[in-house]
A and B are shown apart, each in its own frame.
Chain A
Amino acid sequence: MFNVATGGRRRRAFCTMAVCVAVITKENYPLYISNVPAANELKFHYTVHTSLDVVEEKLSAVGKTTSDLRELYLGLLYPTEDYKVYGYVANTKVKFVIVIDSSNTSFRDNEIRSMFRKLHTAYTDVMCNPFYTPGDPIQSKTFDDVISSMMQVC
């Protein structure tokens, strides 16, 4: 039996250092929030919560222009002194928020986008699982693995 621990997966030297990742539903309640372990969770929860306002604002702005049915990469929502918050909305109005430590070398936009794509893909995989009812907190191990891979610090 091959119980290869997912933690055993090696990461390349390049690693994204998201400090916190959150998935928020259309109704703006969180499906999933996870932090880098050492972090102060409450602070990140708060940050994600406040970022929702910015997301809504951006969404409404875009909504006026086009009924953009595709997903939206919102980019940097707002920077704080310690970290930057990036947002991404899927066409189902599910929001993904990634908080990245500012002390990291600034990530190229592409990298953030790719992180969001990975997130979205993992989220879709969770959705495809018939045993998962939408609206439940996400407890999938696979999803956790994807997230922790994104949050791994090298």
Chain B
Amino acid sequence: MEGLTLNEAEQKCYAELFAFCDVESTKKLAAGSKVAELFRAAQLPNDVLMQITDLCGAKRLGYFGRSQFYIALKLIAVAQAGLPVRLESIGTVHELPRFNIAPSEVESWHAVQGHYEHEGPLGPYGSAAVLPPPPGRVYNKKLHNAQELPSAVPATTQRILEKQMSSKSPPQEQTSPTVSPQHTPPCSPTGWHPAAERGQPVSWKPFTERSMGHGEGNWPVGSTTPQQDNWVSFTNTRGVADVDDGSAPPAHHVTVQSDQTPARAATKEAQQRMSYSDDPWRITEEQRDYYINQFKTIQHDLAGLIPGSAAKEFFTKSKLPIMELSHIWELSDFDQDGALTLDEFCAAFHLVVARKNGYDLPERLPETLIPKLIDIDDNDKDVSEQHSDTTFASSPVETVANKSPSISQSWVDLQQNSEQWETFSDRSSSCQTLTRFDTNITPADPETAIVHPVAIRMTPSKIHLRDMDLTGSGQEATPPAKLPSAPLAADEATTPAKFASAKNNDGFHSSESAHSSDVDPSSNGSSRPRSFSGTSGEDSKRMAPPPPPPPRPHQTHSRSSSLDLNKAFAAAQQGQTLSGASAPPPAVPPRPHPHVLQSSKSVDGADLTPDPVNPLLSSQPPPEQPNFADFTHFTALQFFPEAEREAAAKEARVAAQNDKHVMKVEGQVDEQNTSSKKPSRQRMKSEEEPRAEVSVPEEHFKKTGGIAALGNTQPALQRSAGKEKKAIQASIRKNKETNTVLARLNTELNQQLKDLLEERIALEVQLEQLRPFSHS
């Protein structure tokens, strides 16, 4: 036999069970009535039971020895936990197996175990047997309280219960199927009597009953339970021991202190039964009907809204503390409009019920409670929900468990995404984030017929629902009037409609921000247009003048300006003799170069621009090349006055290019935006000019040389005569143009210099600020 390690609780439980079954005290359990009954009470399919008996070796032996019995019990626990029944799984499951103990068994159990002081006849065993998934730690508390019972046995089972509860907390969903409602909802309040008598799993007993049996100890934290007792009296007939509250509904009768308590008792019980096996956050048919009836008492129109004040009064009757009611409101008012639609109301009601029953309020609204759109097919939704409810009840819980975590996970992801998104949209184009968001949602969507993964609060709800592929839920169909719609938001409203269904507000917001870049999506995914859209508009106006383009890296930087430069470069290369720095890879011209390299390569002594130009010329990447080439050409020209006309033309071009070059150089030094425009301008100019003249010895190219050449054209002009005068005049004109251009360049460069100096000062100030101060 496989080594079987049982922890203390299991040990005790199994020992008790063994003793229970071992009526003859032979230490061997025949595969007879008791064992069979017990195994059947585990509510596993027969074949699983057969498998278990095979595995544990009882078949082999013909009877259940202690170890076989224990193994069988373990396997039952494994099976109930949803794991495949294997001997290897034994080690993984440490929960106790659950059994629905038949009344006779219970009573015999009583006999075996002696008395127990738990409140009903069924006592803890019944509870232990039928433990529904406990919702939270509150139950442990209750158990602790219940544990004050003196009897050792009950204490054991209490501890077992506790253990079960705590262990069950995580795999809640998984455990519920085994305790599926086995009974049709009985209608009479008296039917509540000990499950033992009815053979029903006494899963939940109303809270109040417990309290009646036990006093205050078992009450969940924070509830004003004693009052609830009185309030809910109709079902409080007996102390049916129940530890569970696996389902919220049990107490849901507790909630609203409306009217007709006795009449509702039956309904509530029925509801309780039905919802027993369900996720506590799931609203069953009966519950929903009840909620709808309650809704009608406040608001006749089922598609309408309950205003906040009315809802407040209504829920205040439940005598929950205001803080909790406030929290419930926050959870359930899905679209945050200050009013409750039918679905929101049901969710809120359900939460109140759950809270009354001791469930802790969740941090976020459980998916099953997420309200659906009402304006679209309210009936259909109800039907689908009912359908889903009933199917849920019957379907294996594992799927639900799988779905729910995935939904919640996707919801969490969406929440996260929403947060990410909102920050992201501040910075960049929101459209991209939109698409990213879509892909996140879709996987989670389809498999659940129940809930959509995303909390959406968008005004054009109908449109969204159409888009959305939901069967069970959807967005809140908040009437647009309800939302304080700002004009901006109204505009945006249509755009979000285009977005895929489970689009969070962030989609909405991103579109908004795409427009205004001001609207901040709320972390709740609420894209509710706010009254401050006006400001957004204002802000957008303020923002209308586009911010200055980011400072372009050095003009010579070939990457960003590569197009132009490459063209120039290519053109330059056509005929071309590049300068010595031939075809170096485009590299970011290092800034210090201009200041560092003080080249002495001034060609003709003419020094139009400071030295920075020179080193750049020599060290610059190819972008400079064409200019260099032109320069040399230009400079060469001055030495070859004969080709004057051409030279003049070339000079003009070269000068222009020189300007460009100067621009680039200066821009490189300054890294100013403004200069970026100039080079492009210059570039354009230069590009326009024919590049044929590039073929020039490139040794001399310096700006200074170029400028010097300019000056030198004058003597050249003087030397010319006759028919060349025209050419000279043309060249004069061009030189003048160049002069003006250069003058402009000069002013701009000066401006850049000023800006730079200002920047420098600002940076220095910042530096001062950043330096830690000695005081405080």
Contact = CB atoms under 8 A, between A and B. Distances in A.
A118 B523 contact: yes
Interface residues of A, number: 52
A130 B309 contact: yes
Contacts of B360: 3
B538 A129 contact: no
B314 to A, nearest CB: 10
Interface in B310-327: 311-312, 322-323, 325-327
Among A73, A108, A117, the one with the most B-chain Cβ atoms within 10 Å of its Cβ is A117
Contacts of A16: 423
B175 interface: no
A2 B776 contact: no
Among A1, A16, A124, A142, the one with the most B-chain Cβ atoms within 10 Å of its Cβ is A1
Interface string B387-426: 0000000000000000011001001100110011011101
A9 B412 contact: yes
Contacts of B281: 1-2
A124 B336 CA distance: 9
A139 interface: yes
Given A71-B532, A120-B530, A141-B363, A1 B172 contact: yes
B136 interface: yes
B520 A4 contact: no
B518 interface: yes
B133 to A, nearest CB: 9
B422 A128 contact: no
Interface string A92-124: 000000000011000010110111111011101
A113 to B, nearest CB: 7
A120 B769 CA distance: 31
B312 A131 contact: yes
A10 interface: yes
A81 B359 CA distance: 49
A122 B530 CA distance: 11
A3 B327 contact: no
Contacts of B531: 70, 91
A2 B408 contact: yes
B337 interface: yes
B733 to A, nearest CB: 49
Interface in B473-491: none
B591 to A, nearest CB: 22
A81 B426 contact: no
B479 to A, nearest CB: 15
Contact of B423 (A2, A14, A128, A129): A14
Interface residues of B, number: 63
Interface string B351-371: 000000001101110110000
A146 B531 CA distance: 20
B308 interface: yes
Interface string A120-153: 1110110011111000000111100110010000
Contacts of A124: 336, 530
Contacts of A146: 522-524
A76 B265 CA distance: 61
B404 A113 contact: no
A63 interface: no
Nearest to A142: B330
Contacts of A50: none
A131 B538 CA distance: 34
Among B280, B419, B523, the one with the most A-chain Cβ atoms within 10 Å of its Cβ is B523
A118 B522 contact: yes
B522 A4 contact: no
Nearest to A113: B518
A61 interface: no
Contacts of A6: 363-364
A82 interface: yes
Contacts of A139: 323, 326
Nearest to B407: A2
B776 A82 contact: yes
Among A15, A73, A142, the one with the most B-chain Cβ atoms within 10 Å of its Cβ is A142
A117 B526 CA distance: 12
B366 A1 contact: yes
A132 B326 CA distance: 7
Contacts of A141: 327, 330, 363
B367 A81 contact: no
Nearest to A118: B520
A6 B364 CA distance: 8
A90 interface: yes
A12 B423 contact: yes
B329 interface: yes
A18 to B, nearest CB: 13
A113 B426 CA distance: 9
A3 B419 contact: no
A90 to B, nearest CB: 7
27 contacts: A1-B136, A1-B172, A1-B280, A2-B364, A2-B404, A2-B408, A4-B411, A12-B419, A12-B424, A16-B423, A70-B535, A71-B535, A73-B539, A81-B769, A91-B531, A102-B770, A110-B427, A114-B520, A117-B520, A118-B522, A121-B522, A128-B308, A128-B336, A129-B330, A130-B308, A139-B326, A149-B419
Interface of B: 135-136, 172, 279-281, 308-309, 311-312, 322-323, 325-327, 329-330, 333, 336-338, 359-360, 362-364, 366-367, 404-405, 408, 411-412, 415-416, 419-420, 422-424, 426-427, 517-524, 526, 528, 530-532, 534-535, 538-539, 769-770, 773, 776
Closest 5 CB pairs of A and B: A117-B520, A130-B308, A121-B522, A131-B326, A130-B312
Given A2-B364, A110-B426, A121-B522, 14 more contacts: A1-B136, A4-B363, A81-B776, A111-B423, A121-B520, A122-B524, A125-B522, A128-B308, A130-B312, A131-B312, A131-B322, A139-B323, A140-B330, A149-B419
